[in-house]
Structure 1
Amino acid sequence: MEDNGYTVQVENADNLAAIKDQYHVPPSLQSCHTAIVDGYIIEGHVPVADVERLLTERPDIAGLAVPGMPIGSPGMEVEGAAAQPYDVLAFDKSGNVSLFASYGS
């Protein structure tokens, strides 16, 4: 995110599960990083283009998630390794999930 002009404040936490629960991240969507961007939850390696689309469209959702750590997602590029297909999923506070974007499929 910093490479794309965003100011990032890192807060390391001992109990990530409690933070994910606090922000209603469905267990099936939980990943390695949780961020708050202008009131939205960003879970995992979500592409900047999708964060920017989220902030432009401002849908009535809690946030976006990329479950797991798919090779080829932002920050997970591996030289010589083929990118894995992955989805960016939108979720709301009730646990409803929908497709927001898809990569490599």
Structure 2
Amino acid sequence: MRRRSFLLAALALPALRLPAHAAQGPEIRVLKSPSCGCCTAWADHLSAAGFSVDLRDVPDEQLWTMKDRLGIGEETASCHTAMIEGYVIEGHVPAEDITRLINERPDALGLAVPGMPIGSPGMEMGDSTEPFTTLLLLADGETRAFARHG
């Protein structure tokens, strides 16, 4: 319950609000470092998939403090953190995995793609890709594979 309360508090974070992306589908709030371009590219991926993206810049220290409080450890961390319908989304998670998560509604904290795998949404670099796994973040700190890509 504490993490969900923190999620709600994080949604109220005073932050520099960037122009909203397309406003069609479920709203996802993305918190990112002001200097990160791949986070903006990931937000564009979500927008193209029909999500309404609320993209916010937050100071790095505040972002990492929030990750720690949400239970996102170094092994599951990436460069940005998002929230949608009570779930946390960490890193370059593909839009289709987020859609599946909110449709299936598993008992979990959310999803993570640790690091910044080349070829994941927002990390496209020509034809280069590397396989990656989207992890389901469980409340007890454990993870399990949710989807495999590449």
What TM-score comes out, normalization by structure 1 length? 0.91
Partner of residue 25 from structure 1, selected from 65, 69, 72: 72
Name segments (4+ residues, structure 1) moved above 2 Å. Answer: none
Q: Distance in 1 between matches of 2:115 and 2:55?
A: 20
Question: Aligned residue pairs: how many?
Answer: 103
- Which has the higher Rg, Structure 1 or Structure 2? 2
CA distance in 2, matches of 1:85, 1:18: 29
Q: Which of 84, 90, 115 lines up with 1:37 in the alignment?
A: 84
How big is the shift at 1:82?
2.2
CA offsets, 1:81-101, max 9 Å, x none?
421010100112321110101
Amino acid in structure 2 at the alignment position of 1:3: A
Q: Does 1:98 align with 2:144?
A: yes
* Between structures 1 and 2, the one with greater helix share: 2
Amino acid at match of 1:8: V
Q: Compute the displacement of 1:72 (Å).
A: 0.7
Greater alpha carbon shift after TM alignment, 42-51 vs 13-22: 13-22
Query: Which residue is 2:101 aligned to?
Result: 54
**What are the ranges of 5 or more consecutive residues in structure 1 without an aligned counterpart?**
none
Question: What percent of counterpart residues are identical?
Answer: 45
| TM-score, with structure 2 as normaliser | 0.65
Question: Partners of 2:115 and 2:134 in 1: how far apart?
Answer: 11
Report which stretch shifted further, 86-95 or 44-53. 86-95
Note the C-alpha offset of 1:55: 0.6
Unaligned runs of 5+ in 2: 1-45
Q: Which among 44, 68, 72 is matched to residue 115 of structure 2? A: 68
User: 1:6-36 CA deviation, whole Å, 9 max, x = no partner?
Assistant: 1111222112111102222132100001000
- Letter of the 2:57 partner, please give it: N
